[in-house]
Structure 1
């Protein structure tokens, strides 16, 4: 474990008399998380969790895991969103896609939640 004084924490310090441009930050909490160096904007709509916040996330995960083990639960890893273009190229979106979870981002790009395994097609 690293000492707190050695943890990479890029705080965004803004002088009180500075004129700040309006950004796309949606809430006060988002602004505070960014200014305190807990998260960093990656690309549009994505954020990177910085080390200090990662320590907090890890502690929450450990707490949930220990309670799940006591209750007899099991940990799973869920699939991720992938661009539908990948699925269209291979023809896997041609059939019945009602069971797929699809979303669009702000710019209109469509994403699909990748299944753990693809359903077999009945002939």
Structure 2
């Protein structure tokens, strides 16, 4: 399941901080943008229904945990993006990204290492 942009922001908070209450997630999100507590709560409830989050209940407090891994989510988003924007061509995506952004020597070395490993497999 593809999370919305707002859901992805919440997942990033939970992946970084681990299990958190709505208040903790709201505080983190509020540092970068204006979001109401009830909006964060509603989004997290919907995400729980969609099985993107799991929830532990302790009295009146609920602690939420990401029920999907960061790697699987990123893989799914990239796969869909490559299919829709680049008609399935990973090379067109890579050439577009490398042509549009300044890439550091370390990143280029990492890319070369990845390509060497893929070539060996």
TM category (shorter chain) comes to under 0.3
Q: Identify, as 1 or 2, the structure richer in helix.
A: 2
Q: Which structure is larger by alpha-carbon Rg, 1 or 2?
A: 1
Q: Give TM-score scaled by structure 1 length.
A: 0.26
TM-score by length of 2: 0.26
Higher RCO by CA contacts (8 Å cutoff, separation 6 or greater): 2
